[in-house]
Amino acid sequence: MGAPRPHPHEPRLAIRRALVRRHLHAAVAGKSDSLKIDLHDGDVNSAALLVDLIAPLDPESISFRHIASAIKRSGSADAVIDGLGSRDPIVAARSARIAGAMRMEQVVPWLTPLLWSRWPTVRDSATRALAKVGGVRSADALLLAIHQIGQRPSLIVALARAAPDLYLEAVLGGSQLRNALPAVATAAGLRGRRTATAALILQLGKGSGRARKASSRSLGWLGARAGIPDLTIALEHRDWRVRMSAAKALGAMPAYQPGPRLRACLADRNPRVRRSAQDAIRRLSRP
Comparing 59-68, 192-201, 258-267, the range with the smallest average pLDDT is 59-68
pLDDT band at 9 (very low <50, low <70, confident <90, very high): low
Q: What domains are defined for the chain? A: 54-164 (1.25.10.10), 195-287 (1.25.10.10)
pLDDT digits (tens, 9 = 90+) for 91-105: 999 999 999 999 999
Comparing 28-42, 65-79, 199-213, 242-256, the range with the smallest average pLDDT is 28-42
Mean pLDDT across the stretch 20-34?
78
| CA distance linking residue 196 with residue 21, whole number of Å | 43
In the predicted structure, residue 1 carries a pLDDT above the cut 70: no
Q: Please tell me the pTM assigned to this model.
A: 0.86
Comparing 34-43, 79-88, 203-212, 239-248, the range with the smallest average pLDDT is 34-43
Q: What is the pLDDT of residue 2?
A: 52
pLDDT band at 4 (very low <50, low <70, confident <90, very high): low
| CA distance linking residue 222 with residue 282, whole number of Å | 20
pLDDT digits (tens, 9 = 90+) for 184-232: 999 999 999 899 999 999 999 999 999 999 999 999 999 999 999 999 9
Residue 254 φ then ψ, to 5°:
-60, -25
Q: What is the pLDDT of residue 213?
A: 96
